[in-house]
């Protein structure tokens, strides 16, 4: 039987959640960069003994708090999830252990078996956001799929969504009737595969 991806995708309002990132080097910077790229107003604290200059710049740009020093368990207080992104495997495992004792979700860089969630490829065009997961198996494939979707989704998709939202508000009738009308209107968005007959 073929293995399947059993991850459940969710879209978190990270501007309302408290996030801790442990690590100020390349891996931490990468995680932070993609987090802010998708969610510029994410509420983030970063703890590390040192920070790349570009990480300091990114944190300043997005109002993230930098804590210069060793990681301590107390930094997990009042956090909703943690990302451990250091090149110290022992420290990353300690962060994971502390997170589990506090019932926090954790993402431990380059250690899929210790991750409660993955930070997958993200396509972002206005109101449309698509998350791509390869079950932690191939970030390169996720990247290529992201590039593909960025090319095929039209630039004016947000305007189309706004227009459909306004139309939806004007539709009369019960819920089923509204759904049926919206399905009819949006049917043209699906490219139908021609039969081989």
For 112-164, how does the pLDDT look when each residue is reduced to its tens digit (9 = 90+)?
899 999 888 889 888 899 999 888 778 889 889 999 999 999 888 888 888 88
As a 3-state breakdown, the chain gives helix, strand, coil percent values, each rounded to 5, of 45, 15, 40
| Predicted confidence band of residue 195 (pLDDT cuts 50, 70, 90) | very low
Residue 66's nearest CA partner among 46, 38, 86 is 46
Distance of CA 38 to the CA centre of its chain: 7
For 46-103, how does the pLDDT look when each residue is reduced to its tens digit (9 = 90+)?
999 999 999 999 999 999 999 999 999 999 999 999 999 999 999 999 999 999 999 9
Sign, CA dihedral 108-111-114-115, equals positive
- 123 beta partners: 130
In terms of Cβ atoms closer than 10 Å to its own Cβ (0-12, 13-18, 19+), residue 61 is: exposed
The residue behind tokens 């997990």 is 76
How much is the pLDDT for 149?
92
């Amino acid at each position: 039987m073929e293995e399947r991806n059993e991850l459940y995708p969710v879209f978190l309002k990270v501007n309302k959640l408290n996030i801790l990132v442990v690590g100020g080097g390349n891996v931490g910077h990468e995680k932070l960069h993609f987090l802010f790229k998708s969610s510029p107003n994410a509420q983030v604290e970063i703890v590390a003994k040192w920070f790349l200059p570009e990480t300091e710049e990114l944190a300043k740009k997005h109002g993230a708090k930098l804590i210069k020093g060793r990681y301590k368990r107390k930094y997990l207080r009042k956090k909703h999830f943690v990302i451990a992104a250091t090149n110290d495997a022992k420290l990353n495992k300690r962060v994971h252990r502390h997170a589990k004792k506090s019932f926090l979700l954790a993402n431990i860089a380059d250690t899929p078996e210790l991750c409660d969630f993955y930070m997958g490829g993200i396509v972002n065009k206005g109101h449309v956001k698509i998350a791509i997961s390869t079950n932690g198996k191939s970030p390169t494939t996720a990247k290529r799929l992201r590039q593909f979707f960025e090319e095929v989704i039209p630039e004016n998709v947000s305007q189309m969504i706004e227009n459909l939202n306004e139309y939806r508000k004007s539709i009369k009738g019960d819920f089923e009737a509204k759904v049926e009308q919206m399905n009819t209107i949006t049917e043209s968005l699906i490219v139908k595969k021609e039969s081989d007959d």
